[in-house]
Amino acid sequence: MTVKKTLFRGAAQVALHVLNTIDVISYGQGAHPGKKENCKNPYPWLKKLRSKAPVLRSYANRGWIVLGFDEVQAAFKDPRFSSDMRNNQFIVNILRAAADGKTVQLLDDPSMLSLDAPDHTRLRKLVSHGFLRKYILSLEPTIKRIVDECLSTVGPQATQFDLMDVLAKPLPAIVIAELLGLPDSDREQFQRWSNQLLGLTLIDNPEMVEQGNNANNALIGYFTRIIAEKRLSPSQDLIGQLIAAEEEGDRLTAGEMYSTCVLLLLAGHETTTRLIGNGMHALLQHPDQCRQMQQDPSLTPNAVEEMLRYEPPVQMMARFAKEDIDFHGAAIKKDQLVMLVIASANRDATQNSDPDTFDIHRENPSHVSFGYGIHLCLGLALARLEAQVAIDALLERYPNMTLTDQDVDWQTGSLVRGMEHLFVQTGH
């Protein structure tokens, strides 16, 4: 490794660690509980911070964190905050250094998730055709088939299995592959890329970021070929719909098509994988509620909402101030980074009573786990449906399922919360 590359990687590592907001937030307001404890359970620390103020200055991330439910919701829909990280040179430098000269999709060809209106509005209109609720709900039989295929890999005599490897990780990748109309022969490679792509969410781990970047670039090359083939032979799958999509005479450019396909894979995979894993971990820690769901599957939709509230897969989202802003008493300066802490907002007692208690019977669980405003997750209906089908199938097939170990290894990144493995006893 050259001296220049070593320096770049070192700078990236330091800078990326700074961005691990939950892990290194420091306000001069008391000692931080430590990485290991906070990773295992960040919610007491977030509660302590939120009790001081719903919006706090963070010198660690050179900006602010927003912790209260109303304030996070307000920030999501406030046009004075930007989703486009290209507007913040500090973040640009971090990602460029981490990529070490390679293409950075987030900067070179951003998806609609990282764009502001009117570009975001235009892209969302074009892509939304493939996510109409009626169409998503029609996919239930397909999702049930895929869930059964995944669970069939567990032998009838098996006493335990890894719920993440068997179901939570492959299910979303297979579903999105089928939606996009990708060949079955490519499924195994596609899943590998999909798993590696999750490294892009672990911004404080340069090695994982590099692996995710490589997978991202490989996927762009892959989708380039697939899209070219589908332009010659039109199809009714999601890529075919994206090619044909037209809104007021507008169409997606080639770059927008590639970035959209990668976004659909990353967003759909990450959210649903962690939702299933985090949700089942919470549920199996409450066996009484687990039994109630087994006896009454109609409880599942509300239980999934409570899972999203209680252990959100995406813990926070970044925004950048477009101008000097007076936001709920905070004097936010132009270009400052503002982290909207979903994990804190969902546990705000002003919005959900007894918020630290997991309760599948909670009436209308309030959360911002899919975002809010114009950036409300386009695939939320699909994520909910996949989770509901997966959880119902697990409870039906393994009525005596229990956790192998109550203590699991949570990921160390601050933006996404989840575990790599979740071993369960089948009860056979």
Taking the C-alpha atoms of residue 104 and residue 253, their distance in angstroms, rounded to an integer, is 18
Tokens (6 digits) for 266: 């990353």
> For the chain, percent helix, then strand, then coil, each to nearest 5?
55, 10, 35
Quote the pLDDT of residue 349: 97
The domain spans of the chain are 3-425
Residue pLDDT, tens place only, 365-394: 999 999 998 888 888 899 999 999 999 999
How many whole angstroms separate alpha carbon 215 and alpha carbon 106? 14
Question: Which letter does DSSP use for residue 333 in this model?
Answer: P
Between 139 and 414, where is the model more confident?
139
Residue entry with tokens 């899943």? 191
Cα 117–chain centre separation: 22
- Single pTM value for the model: 0.85
CATH, domain 3-425, list 1.10.630.10, 1.20.1260.10, 2.60.40.10, 1.10.10.10: 1.10.630.10
Tokens of 88: 């913040």
pLDDT band at 32 (very low <50, low <70, confident <90, very high): very low
200 three-class SS: helix
99: pLDDT strictly greater than 80: no
pLDDT tens digits, one per residue of 308-336: 999 999 999 989 999 999 999 999 999 89
* Residue type at 297 in one-letter notation: P
Share of the chain above pLDDT 90, in %: 45
Tell me the per-residue pLDDT of 55-95, one tens digit each, with 9 for 90 and over.
Answer: 999 887 779 999 999 999 999 999 999 887 776 676 677 66
Residue appearing with tokens 């989770």: 387
pLDDT at 177: 86
Element (H, E) at 69: helix 69-77
Residue 248's pLDDT band (cuts 50, 70, 90): low
What pLDDT score does 312 carry? 96
Task: Say what the pLDDT of residue 413 is.
Answer: 62
Q: Which residue has the tokens 């199996």?
A: 284
Q: For residue 19, is pLDDT > 50?
A: no
Answer whether 25's CB lies under 8 Å from 32's CB: yes
Q: Which residue has the higher pLDDT, 182 or 9?
A: 182
Position 164: which residue type?
Answer: M
